[in-house]
């Protein structure tokens, strides 16, 4: 039978990552592996009170709770425009347009075009094919 870690184990692990060694040594107590959930929540509350002025930003919820709406915008409402969106749209579609123009005017480097021109040049040199009238 495999024993899963309890919340107190995860709490101790997270304390070691977020607190300094001296501050955590003052607030943590040696608890057995099978400590109850109520003692874990009490220890967490005590830990938060002891370090409220030092680590205020560590105890805030970093994410918005899920609302069920796409991107957190209610149906029928318009999402606020962020500063990077216009730059991204103009940059993306502008680069597509520049790429299309570049592709349209690229030089023809296919082997078929080269072979046709080379065959025409050789036939003109041998006299089999007449040279074009308007040579530049």
59 vs 81: CA distance, rounded Å: 29
- Domain membership of residue 20 as a residue range: 7-59
Measured torsion, CA atoms of residues 97, 99, 102, 107, in degrees rounded to the nearest 10: -150
CA-CA distance, 58 to 60, in Å (whole number)?
6
Q: Is residue 75 part of a domain?
A: no
The verdict on residue 129 lying in a domain is: no
Q: Does 28 fall in a domain?
A: yes
Which residue spans within 33-82 are E strands per DSSP? Answer: none
35-93 pLDDT, tens digit per residue, is 455 555 555 555 555 555 555 556 677 887 888 888 888 899 998 999 999 999 999 99
Mean pLDDT, rounded, of the chain: 74
| Residue of 20, 106, 96 lying closest to 58 (CA atoms) | 20
Q: What pLDDT is attached to residue 53? A: 52
Nearest to 31 by CA among 48, 5, 52, 8: 8
Q: Which residue has the tokens 């006299």?
A: 127
pLDDT surpassing 90 at residue 97? yes
Q: Which of 7-11, 28-32, 42-46 has the lowest mean pLDDT?
A: 28-32
| Length reported for the chain | 136
Count of domains forming the chain: 1
| Residues of the chain above pLDDT 70, percent | 54
Whether 44 is in a domain gets the answer yes
Confidence of residue 30 (pLDDT cuts 50, 70, 90): very low
**Given a cut of 80, is residue 17 above it in pLDDT?**
no
Query: Any residues with CB less than 8 A from the CB of 130 and at least 6 apart, and which?
Result: 124
């Amino acid at each position: 039978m495999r024993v899963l870690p309890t919340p107190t184990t995860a709490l101790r692990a997270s304390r070691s990552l977020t607190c300094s060694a001296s501050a955590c040594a003052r607030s943590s107590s040696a608890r057995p592996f099978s400590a109850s959930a109520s003692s874990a929540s009490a220890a967490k509350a005590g830990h938060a009170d002891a370090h409220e002025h030092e680590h205020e930003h560590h105890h805030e919820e970093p994410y918005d709770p899920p609302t069920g709406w796409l991107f957190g915008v209610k149906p029928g409402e318009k999402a606020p425009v962020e500063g990077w969106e216009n730059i991204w749209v103009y940059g993306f579609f502008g680069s597509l347009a520049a790429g299309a123009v570049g592709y349209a005017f690229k030089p023809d480097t296919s082997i078929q075009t080269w072979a046709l021109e080379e065959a025409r040049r050789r036939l003109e040199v041998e006299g089999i094919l007449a040279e074009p009238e308007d040579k530049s």
